[in-house]
């Protein structure tokens, strides 16, 4: 039986606040809690063109477009795409439809340096990666270690090769990389009022005291975000709460503390469809009313509650537009790393049609070794010594005694058409289930070496052929 968040299940103080905030729309807002919640997924453009992926999955999942996100779609709940093998291949990311508006509003451009400051579990990060199209630098940060690991796993699953995953406090990050980023997303931790319809725990934990705790935490993160953004850069602040204290009032206070920032008012033709211009009640002795901030209301559109504001940082008039130099990495290589080059080259020549040319030009200068683990770091990666880095780029593989073992991340990041040996399984076949469960597969006579296992044309992971079988190298922690 579906659990429903009716008005009787909602905190009384919250209901009074919403009635004051919404006025004549209050009853329609309450009725939205009786409606079936909607679910969404966003197609991964690193796996193919949106139109192609949509046609392949339209009937399978009952897809309908999300109006404010080109690659976003509602799906039929009973189709359960999160349990489908295509999910493990990173063909799409399950994401709340309203949350898809954040990166659309930020509008990242290929080649830019982008920071997702509160990134777990990875919805905005993977969306940013789509928009960067493999160019530039994506830094995804999460302060909570367990959530940072989930973030890292999703970065891997979606085949992102120009991203770094970090586990840092926002203030510490701001000390190391002041004015480094072109654009920043701050999807701030909040009281979660917008998720009450689908998250019982958010309703149980809600209190006015918790709202104030969130306000304090958000203020600190926003101030640190301001330090991290370059002059002329843009920043989106978002929450999944209705609370004006965490939304419009938070932005009003931020602008008072940071006169170098202003709200970006988008022309009507550039506003995202379905988003409502933000209005709120009295703040101190004046009314704060801006069409540069937006809300998503569940009684107006198919999506949960959300707030978004787009901010721009201008140059300080007194200091002038000071350019902050990037912190460059030290490029000197150890003997062990150079030995790793040779083992990697052997693997690339044996496994890929184009050999080592499948990697970007100058790839040797971008290889770094963490213990036995070899990574290809993004071209624009700065010096990060002293910061907690979980994933410093694309995990290429492990250096073992006189051999190279490719990483699962590499399998998910490559184009399957460039691999010499591959095994393409049917989407709903028993063999696919067996591979995801860690079982061996059969191999053709004479096949030997690393083999890419795919579902259709989409990589799932590695296997190694020898003696008529394919030994399974799907990670044990991911097996179903």
- Contact between 93 and 57 under an 8 Å Cβ cutoff? The reply is no
Question: What was the pLDDT predicted at 445?
Answer: 79
All residues at 6 or more sequence positions from 266 whose CB lies less than 8 Å from its CB, including other chains: 292, 310
- Contact between 74 and 97 under an 8 Å Cβ cutoff? The reply is yes
pTM metric for this prediction: 0.93
How many Å apart are CA 185 and CA 235, to the nearest integer? Answer: 6
- The residue with tokens 């787009």 is 310
How many Å apart are CA 183 and CA 93, to the nearest integer? Answer: 22
All residues at 6 or more sequence positions from 366 whose CB lies less than 8 Å from its CB, including other chains: 360, 376, 377, 378, 379, 381, 393
Query: Taking the C-alpha atoms of 119, 124, 122 and 79 in order, what is their torsion angle to the nearest 10 degrees?
Result: 150
Residue 366: how many CA atoms within 13 Å on its side-chain side?
Answer: 19
Question: What was the pLDDT predicted at 319?
Answer: 41
| Distance set, CA 154 to CA 124, 148, 149, 159, 308 (Å) | 11, 10, 9, 9, 24
List the pLDDT tens digit at each of the 480 positions of the chain.
Answer: 344 455 558 889 999 999 998 999 999 999 999 888 899 999 999 999 999 999 999 999 999 999 999 999 999 999 999 999 999 999 999 999 999 999 999 999 999 999 999 999 999 999 999 999 999 999 999 999 999 999 999 999 999 999 999 999 999 999 999 999 999 999 999 999 999 988 888 888 899 999 999 999 999 999 999 999 999 999 999 999 999 999 999 999 999 999 999 999 887 777 888 888 876 555 454 445 556 799 999 999 999 999 999 999 997 644 433 344 344 445 566 677 777 788 999 999 999 998 888 888 888 889 998 889 999 999 989 999 999 999 999 999 999 888 899 999 999 999 999 999 999 999 889 999 999 999 999 988 788 999 999 999 999 999 999 988 999 999 999 998
How many Å apart are CA 231 and CA 320, to the nearest integer? Answer: 10
- CA atoms 291, 292, 296, 302: torsion sign: positive
> Nearest CA to 95 among 61, 124, 70?
124
240 in active site = yes
> Nearest CA to 443 among 432, 454, 434, 451?
451
The one catalytic residue among 69, 118, 240, 454: 240
DSSP 79-107: G-GGGSHHHHTTSEEE--GGGGHHHHHH-
How many Å apart are CA 41 and CA 225, to the nearest integer? Answer: 28
Task: Give the CA radius of gyration of the chain.
Answer: 24
How many Å apart are CA 296 and CA 119, to the nearest integer? Answer: 20
Question: What was the pLDDT predicted at 327?
Answer: 44
> Nearest CA to 317 among 263, 260, 262?
260
- Contact between 186 and 140 under an 8 Å Cβ cutoff? The reply is no
How many Å apart are CA 301 and CA 320, to the nearest integer? Answer: 44
- CA atoms 7, 10, 16, 21: torsion sign: negative
DSSP 1-50: ------GGGS-HHHHHHHHHHHGGGHHHHHHGGGSPPPEEEEE-TTSS-H
Instruction: Decide the pairing of beta strands 422-425 and 449-455.
Output: parallel
- Contact between 260 and 236 under an 8 Å Cβ cutoff? The reply is no
- Contact between 420 and 431 under an 8 Å Cβ cutoff? The reply is no
Question: What was the pLDDT predicted at 268?
Answer: 76
How is residue 378 written in tokens? Answer: 């993004």
Separation of CA 471 from chain center: 32
DSSP state of 315: P
Length of the chain: 480
Question: What was the pLDDT predicted at 336?
Answer: 73
């Amino acid at each position: 039986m579906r659990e429903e968040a009716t008005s009787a299940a909602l905190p009384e103080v919250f209901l009074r606040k919403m009635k004051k905030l919404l006025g004549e729309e209050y009853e329609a807002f309450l009725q939205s809690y009786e409606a079936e919640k909607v679910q969404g997924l966003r197609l991964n453009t690193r796996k193919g063109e949106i139109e192609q992926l949509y046609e392949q999955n339209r009937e399978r999942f009952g897809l309908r477009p999300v109006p404010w996100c080109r690659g976003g779609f509602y799906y039929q709940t009973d189709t359960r795409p999160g349990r489908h093998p295509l999910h493990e291949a990173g063909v799409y990311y399950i994401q709340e439809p309203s949350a898809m508006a954040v990166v659309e509003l930020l509008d990242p451009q290929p080649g830019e340096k982008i920071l997702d400051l509160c990134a777990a579990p990875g919805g905005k990060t993977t969306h940013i990666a789509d928009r960067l199209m493999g160019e530039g630098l994506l830094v995804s940060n999460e302060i909570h270690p367990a959530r940072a690991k989930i973030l890292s796993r999703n970065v891997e699953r979606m085949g992102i090769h120009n991203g770094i995953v970090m586990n840092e406090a926002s203030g510490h990050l701001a000390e190391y990389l002041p004015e480094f980023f072109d654009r920043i997303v701050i999807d701030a931790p909040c009281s979660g009022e917008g998720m009450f319809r689908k998250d019982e725990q958010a309703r149980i934990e809600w209190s006015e005291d918790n709202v104030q705790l969130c306000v304090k935490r958000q203020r600190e993160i926003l101030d640190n975000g301001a330090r991290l953004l370059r002059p002329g850069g843009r920043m989106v602040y978002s929450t999944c709460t209705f609370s004006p204290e965490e939304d419009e009032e938070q932005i009003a206070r931020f602008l008072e503390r940071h006169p170098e920032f202003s709200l970006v008012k988008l022309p009507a033709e550039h506003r995202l469809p379905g988003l409502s211009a933000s209005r709120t009640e009295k703040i101190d002795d004046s009314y704060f009313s801006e069409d540069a901030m937006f809300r998503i209301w569940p009684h107006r559109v198919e999506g949960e509650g959300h707030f978004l504001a787009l901010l721009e940082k201008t140059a300080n008039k007194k200091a002038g537009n000071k350019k902050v130099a990037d912190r460059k990495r030290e490029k000197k290589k150890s003997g062990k790393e150079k030995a790793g080059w040779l083992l990697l080259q052997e693997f690339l020549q044996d496994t890929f049609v184009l050999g080592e040319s499948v990697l970007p030009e100058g790839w040797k200068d971008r290889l770094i070794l963490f213990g036995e683990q070899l990574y290809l770091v993004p071209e624009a990666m700065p010096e990060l010594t002293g910061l907690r880095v979980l994933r410093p780029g694309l995990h290429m593989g492990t250096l073992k005694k006189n051999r190279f073992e490719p990483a699962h991340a590499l399998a998910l990041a490559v184009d399957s058409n460039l691999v010499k040996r591959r095994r393409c399984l049917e989407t709903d076949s028993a063999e696919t289930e067996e591979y995801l469960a860690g079982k061996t597969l059969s191999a053709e006579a004479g096949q030997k070496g690393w083999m890419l296992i795919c579902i259709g044309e989409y990589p799932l992971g590695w296997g190694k052929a020898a003696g008529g079988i394919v030994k399974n190298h799907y990670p044990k922690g991911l097996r179903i």
